[in-house]
Structure 1
Amino acid sequence: MPVQALAAQASESSRALSPTVEFLRNRKLMIFVLVGLTTGVVLWLAGAEMPLAVTAYLVLGVVIVVTAIDMFKDLMRGHWGLDILAVIAMIATLAVQEYVAGLIIALMLTGGEALEDFATRRASKELDQLLNRAPAFAGRIHPSTGEVERIAIDEVKAGDELLVRSSEILPVDGVLISDHATIDESSVTGEPIPVSYRAGDQLLSGTVNSTTSFSMRAQKIASESNYASIVRLVEEAVDSRAPMVRLADRYAVPFTIVALLIAGLAWFFSGDPVRFAEVLVVATPCPLLIATPIAFMGGMSSAAKLNVIIKDGSVLEVLARVRSAAFDKTGTLTEGKADVVDIRPASHSAVETLRLAATAEQYSVHVFADPIVAAARAQQLELLEVTTADEVATNGVHAALVGGAEVRVGKPAFIEEVAGPITRPVLGAGEAAVYVSVGDELAGIIILSDPIRPRAAETVSRLREAGVTEIALVTGDARSTAESVAHTVGIRTVHAETTPQTKVEIVQAMRSRPVLMVGDGINDAPVLAAAEVGIAMAGRGATVASESAAAVITSNDIARVADVAYVSRRTVKIALQSIWMGIIISVALMLVAAFGYLPAVVGALLQEIVDLVAILSALRALRTYKSVQ
C-alpha cells in the first residue's frame, strides 16, 4: 500500500471519531444552543415566560436526545459516562422552570466538547504532521531517454532511477547514484545536522534533500520503505485511546452517586426542589472528561517531538510506573556498526580465517555479517564456492563448501558442538568475538568492535533515578562481551548467550513490575511484545522489532528512553491532577449550592470557567521536554 494511501486510510478509518469531524459536529450543536440561549436570555429579560419555556424545551430537548444517544453508545461499549449528570441536571432545570440555567448547562456541555476537540487537534499536531508530510510523488528518470517524468509514489518500483530535487522529500528507500548529497534527517532520525553521503550509501525515505538535485536508485517500493512504517505507527497512535481516559470514566459511578446524594439531601432538608437542580448544575465534572484525553494526546505529541512514536496512549500510563528494565546489547546499548579490528588464528591463518568467515557470513542477516564480508572485500579476498548454507537462528551460519568441507561461523557454543571446548579471549568494552571452524577444528577468532552508544551509561543512571530498581542486560552475545559492556554502562545483572525464547522467560521472571524492554533486532521482537512496555531502537530504519514494540525511537539516541519515561510520568501527573481538580472543585461547588448560596445560573457559569481552566491545565503536557545534554 502506498504511503499516501496509508495516510488517507489513517484519516478515513477514524473519520467518524476524528477530531475535525467531531469538532464540526459539536460546533454546530454549540452554535444551535448559543442561539437558543441568546433568545432565551432576551425573552427572560423581556418577561416573556411562555416563549422562554418553549425555547428552553426545544433546545434542551435536542441536546438531551443527542447526549442520551451518545451515552447509550458508550454504555454498549462498556463505558459509564459522566454525561448522565448533565442530562439529569437539564431535566431538573426544566422541571423547576430554571430555563436560563438549563440553557447554560447545554452550552457548557456542547461548548466543552467543542473546546475538547479543538484542544485535542492542537495536542495531536505533531503526530498529524508526520502523516501529512508523507511524499506523494516521485521523479523517475526514463532509462533510455533520460527524461524525468512525475509519477505517483505507488508507481515506483525497486530498481527505478529517481531524481530528487533540492528541498524535496525522498520518496522511497534507496541508494545514492550521484557522487554526493547532503540530507536533512531531522524529521525521521532526529539528527539536527544535515548528513553527507557518497555514491553507494543508503538513503531513507521521508528525509529531505538539503543540497542540489541528485539521482538515486529505489531499493524498496513505497509501502515497504522506512517512512511508510513510521506512518503505520503514527496511524495506530492517532487512533488509540488511553486507559487513563477510561479511568476517568470509572469515576463516574461513585461521583454520580455522591452528586445525587448531595442533591437529594439538599432537597430533603430544604424542602425546595430548586436546590436539587442547583446542586446538579455544578455536578457536571467536565474536567474529568476533557482534561485527561487532552493530557494524553499532549504527552504523545511531546514524545513525537523527541522522535519517539508512541503507538497507544496506554503506553504512557504503564511507562510512568515502570520498575524494571532490560536492554539488548548489539544495536541498543552499542551502535550496531561493528568493524573487524583483529583476527586471532588457530588452525588456519588470519587471512584464511577471514575468507572462510566471509564465505559463510554472506548468507547471514546478523549485524556482524556485513563488516566481516566488507573486511574480506577490502583485502580483495576471493570467496569460496558454497553448495549449501543455512543460518541457525541466534547461533550462527553453517555452510558446506565445494569439496565437502563444512564451515561454521558464530557463537562459541555453536562452534564447540563440532570443535570441542574453546578458550575464549578477554575482550574490551564494545568488543565481540566471532568464532570460525572448519570441520572439527577451530580455524580462528575474529574480533569486532561495536562502540557503546555515547549516552548509554547516562540513560541507565537516569532510569535508576526515576525509580527503576532492577536493570538487566539480556543478549545473545558471549558472556565476556556482555559483561564488558554491562560494566561500562553500569548494569550489574547480565544474561548472556540467550535465545529469543529465553529472553522472553527472563523478562517475564523479573520481579518488579511493570517491565520495560529496549531492543532493535528481529530476534528482539518476541521479548518486546512480551514486556509490559517494549521500545524499539529503529534508528536508520524500522525492523520487525518496531512492529511488536509499544513505542519506537526513530533517532539513534538511546537517551530518548529516559526522556520518554520522564514525559510519561509528567503526562500521568497532569492527567491525575486534572481528575482530582475536577472532583474537588465540583464537590465544593455542590456543597455551596446545597446550602442555597449558589443560584443555578451563577453555578452554570462557574462550571464553564472551570472547564476552560481544566483544558489549559491539560495542555501543559504539550510542553517540549529538553533532554539532559
Structure 2
Amino acid sequence: MAWILKNARRYPLLATTLLVAVLGVVLWAGGWPSAVQWLFSGFALIVAAMQAHEMVRDIMRGHWGLDILAVTAIVATVLVNEYVASLVIVLMLTGGEALEDYAAGRAKRELNALLEKSPQSAHRVLPDGSIEEIPATEVAVGDTLLLRPAEIVPVDGVLLGEELPEGGGVFDESSLTGESMPVQRLAGDAVSSGAVNGQAAVQIRASATAENSQYQRIVALVAEASESKAPVVRLADRYAVPFTLFALAVAGAAWAISGDPVRFAEVLVVATPCPLLIAAPVAFMGGMSRAARNGVIVKGGGVLEQLSRARTVVFDKTGTLTHGTPSLAEVRPEPGFEADEVLVLAASAEQYSSHVLAASIMQAAQDRGLALRPAESAREVATHGVVATIDGRTVTIGKLSFVRDAAPDAVATPLSGGQLSIAVAVDGRFAGSIVASDSLRGNAAATVRELARLGVRESMILTGDAWPTAEHVAAQLDITRVQAECMPEDKVIAVRELTARPVIMVGDGVNDAPVLAAADVGIAMGARGSTAASESADVVIMVDDISRAARAVHIGQETMRIALQSIWIGIAFSVVLMLIAAFGVIPATVGAGLQEVVDLVAILNALRAIGSRRDRAWSVPAAPASPVAELAR
C-alpha cells in the first residue's frame, strides 16, 4: 500500500488515469455505459487541453514537437466516440513518464551504484590501540584506519605492514577501474578510496582527506554526468516534423478516400510517437552507464554523440602517450661544476615544483645519497621551470629557453632519440644539463590504430617538448602531424584551427586544461592527472590506460547506433500500423494497445546500450614499452 501511495504522489496524472479507468469499469458493470463515455471523453479532453497548453508554449519558443499528434489523436477519438481508445492514449502518455523513469533507472544503474557506494564512515585506530568509528569526512591525513573484511576504503591511503596477511592485501577495484579481477597490494602500496577490501582485515595510513580522495572525485563527476541532459530533444526533433506531417497526411488521405472520419482517428492512434521521446534518452543514459562500468566517466549524452562522430584526435605527449615517469639518464656538468653539485642544486630547487619531472630529479639525487637543501626563496613559472635561492646561490632550472634568460651562455646538449635535456643555471652561469628519458605506453600505437579503425583517421601531437623528441614519438606511432614547443595558448589555437571535426583532445596535466575545454571532446587521463584537467574535460578516464580513449569512442558509436536504431524501429512499426489502419483493419482501441507494444519494443532495444559485463575484457593489445620519449615542462 505504501508503494502505491508513493508512486501515486510521484505520478499523479498516471494515478488519476488509472483511477478513472477503474471507475469506468465499475460504471460499465453497473449498467451506465453513457456515464463511462462522458467520464472517459471528459477526462481525455482535459488531458489533451493540458498537453495542448504545453504544446503552444513550445511552439511559441520555436520548438515544434511531437505533442501535436498525441493531442490530435485524443480529440479525434473523442469526436468519433472511440472513448476507450482516448483513455488508452492518455494512459500511454501519462504512463510514458513512469516507463521512462524505470528504463532510465535501469540504464543508470552503474552511475547510481557509484553514487550509492560512496564511503560514509571509517574506523580510526587510536594511539592506545582502540578503534573508533567516525564519518569519512572527519578522516585527517596521517590517520591510521582499520579496514574490515569487505569494507569500502573510505579515503586514499598507503597500506601498512602491521598485521598484513602473507602475500599482502587483496582489493576489488572494479568500481574504479572497470576491471573485475581483484588486485594485490603490498605494504607501502597506495590504495584508492572506493576499492573494497578482501577477506582479511588490514590497516592503511590516510594520504588524503575524503574530499580530495579518488572516489569522491569520481562521485562528483558521476553526479555531474547524471544531471546532464542528453541531446534527446535535438535527436527527436530531426524526425518530429516530417513524422507528424506524414502521419497527418496518411490519416487525412484515409478519411478522404473512405469518407469515414473514424479512419482518421484510427491512423493517428497508432502514430503516437512515444518511441521518439523515450527510446533515445534511455539509450544515451545506458551508454553513459556502460562507460562508467569501464572506468570512463562521460559528462553527458551530447558528449557520446560527439564521440560517435569524431574525426580527429589530438594527444598531449608526456603522461598521455608516454608513462610520464622519467628516469635520470645522465648529468652533464659544464666546466667549473661537478655532476653531484648540479644534481643536488637542481633537486633542491625542484622541491618547490608541482611538475611530475621534479619527483624524478629529487629521487635521482636521493638514490645517490645527496641531501636536499632548503631554499631561502623559490617560485615556479608554470610550464617553464623554477627559480630558487639555495645557500645564497640563485638556481634556475627548466626549459633551455627559460634558463637562457638567466644564463645567456646556456647551450643545448646533444640528445639521442627520446631523451630530454633539462637545463640548469647557477648565479647567471650555465651549470649543465640533466638528461632524462621516458617510455612510450605499450598500447599507445595500438590505440592510435584502433581510433583510426573507428573512423578517427586524423591524428596529431601537441606538446611543449622539443621538436626532435616530439617527431621521434610521432614516428613511433605513425602520427603524421606534430606541433612541438607549445605553450598552453598555442595548443588552444592549434585545436581551433583543425578542420576535420569533431576533434578529441587527450591530455592529463594542469597545462592541458585550457585545450581540453577548447576541444569538441576533451578526454582527461584522470587517474594521475590534475583536478583542473578533469574538471575541464568532457570525458575522464579513471584508470591509467590510454586505450580507454578508444573505448570511449567505441561506446559513443554503439550508443548512437542503438539510439537511432530504436527511433527507426518505432517509426517503422508506426508507419506499417498507420498504413494498415488506413484501410480500417485496426480498430482504434486495438491500435492504441499495439502502439504500447511498439513503445516497449523500442525501449527494450534502447536498453541494449547498457552493454554487458564482457565490456570489461575489451582492450587494445599492448606492445612492449620502449624508451622513446622525453618529459619536458
TM-score (norm 1): 0.89
SS of structure 2 residue aligned to 1:467: coil
Contact map agreement 2:444 2:477 (CA 8 A) in 1? yes
* Cα drift, residue 255 of structure 1: 2.8
* Cα drift, residue 119 of structure 1: 1.3
* Cα drift, residue 74 of structure 1: 6.0
CA distance in 1, matches of 2:395, 2:56: 68
1:364 counterpart residue number: 353
Contact map agreement 2:55 2:67 (CA 8 A) in 1? yes
CA distance in 2, matches of 1:610, 1:553: 37
CA distance in 2, matches of 1:129, 1:466: 30
State whether structure 2 residue 619 is matched by structure 1 residue 627. yes
TM-score (norm 2): 0.89
- Answer with 74-83 or 298-307: which moved more: 74-83
Give 2:333's match in structure 1, choosing from 324, 342, 345: 345
- Answer with 442-451 or 31-40: which moved more: 31-40
- The aligned amino acid for 1:390 is R
CA distance in 2, matches of 1:333, 1:247: 35
The sequence identity of aligned pairs, in percent, is 53
Contact map agreement 1:520 1:543 (CA 8 A) in 2? no
* Cα drift, residue 292 of structure 1: 0.5
2:580 counterpart residue number: 592
1:100 counterpart residue number: 84
* Cα drift, residue 252 of structure 1: 2.6
1:315-464 equivalence runs, <5 A: 315-347=303-335, 348-403=337-392, 405-417=393-405, 418-420=407-409, 422-429=411-418, 431-464=419-452
- The aligned amino acid for 2:154 is P
Contact map agreement 1:26 1:113 (CA 8 A) in 2? no
1:225 counterpart residue number: 213
1:3 counterpart residue number: none
* Cα drift, residue 440 of structure 1: 3.8
* Cα drift, residue 395 of structure 1: 0.9
* Cα drift, residue 286 of structure 1: 1.2
Give 1:617's match in structure 2, choosing from 605, 615, 618: 605
Contact map agreement 1:338 1:449 (CA 8 A) in 2? yes
2:74 counterpart residue number: 90
* Cα drift, residue 90 of structure 1: 1.3
1:281-292 equivalence runs, <5 A: 281-292=269-280
* Cα drift, residue 173 of structure 1: 2.2
Give 1:272's match in structure 2, choosing from 260, 264, 271: 260
2:140 counterpart residue number: 157
CA distance in 1, matches of 2:56, 2:224: 26
SS of structure 2 residue aligned to 1:591: helix
1:233-252 equivalence runs, <5 A: 233-252=221-240
* Cα drift, residue 167 of structure 1: 2.2
CA distance in 2, matches of 1:488, 1:304: 31
* Cα drift, residue 125 of structure 1: 0.4
CA distance in 1, matches of 2:103, 2:7: 10
* Cα drift, residue 365 of structure 1: 0.6
* Cα drift, residue 568 of structure 1: 0.6
* Cα drift, residue 32 of structure 1: 4.8
SS of structure 2 residue aligned to 1:222: coil
- Answer with 560-569 or 491-500: which moved more: 491-500
Contact map agreement 2:509 2:529 (CA 8 A) in 1? no
CA distance in 2, matches of 1:91, 1:522: 59
- The aligned amino acid for 2:142 is G
Q: Deviations over 1:565-600 (max 9, x none)?
A: 011111111111222333333233323323333321
* Cα drift, residue 21 of structure 1: 12
Q: Deviations over 1:595-617 (max 9, x none)?
A: 33332122212211111110111
1:475-514 equivalence runs, <5 A: 475-514=463-502
CA RMSD of aligned residues (A): 2.8
CA distance in 1, matches of 2:391, 2:501: 53
Change (3 A) 1:425 1:166: farther
* Cα drift, residue 364 of structure 1: 0.4
1:524-539 equivalence runs, <5 A: 524-539=512-527
- The aligned amino acid for 1:391 is E
Give the total of aligned pairs: 607
- Answer with 532-541 or 78-87: which moved more: 78-87
State whether structure 2 residue 114 is matched by structure 1 residue 125. no
* Cα drift, residue 401 of structure 1: 2.5
CA distance in 1, matches of 2:573, 2:29: 31
1:17 counterpart residue number: none
Change (3 A) 1:529 1:33: same
SS of structure 2 residue aligned to 1:51: helix
2:629 counterpart residue number: none
* Cα drift, residue 483 of structure 1: 2.1
CA distance in 2, matches of 1:448, 1:352: 17
* Cα drift, residue 232 of structure 1: 0.9
Gaps (5+ residues) in structure 1?
A: 1-19
* Cα drift, residue 344 of structure 1: 2.8
State whether structure 2 residue 506 is matched by structure 1 residue 523. no
Give 1:142's match in structure 2, choosing from 126, 135, 142: 126
Contact map agreement 2:524 2:539 (CA 8 A) in 1? yes
CA distance in 2, matches of 1:22, 1:287: 27
CA distance in 1, matches of 2:327, 2:582: 76
CA distance in 2, matches of 1:320, 1:484: 30
Contact map agreement 2:446 2:620 (CA 8 A) in 1? no
- The aligned amino acid for 1:156 is V
Contact map agreement 2:287 2:555 (CA 8 A) in 1? yes
1:4 counterpart residue number: none
* Cα drift, residue 223 of structure 1: 1.8
CA distance in 1, matches of 2:70, 2:9: 19
* Cα drift, residue 363 of structure 1: 0.6
- The aligned amino acid for 1:397 is V
State whether structure 2 residue 100 is matched by structure 1 residue 111. no
Change (3 A) 1:177 1:628: closer
* Cα drift, residue 622 of structure 1: 1.4
* Cα drift, residue 284 of structure 1: 0.5
Gaps (5+ residues) in structure 2?
A: 622-633
Q: Deviations over 1:540-568 (max 9, x none)?
A: 46521001100101011111111110111
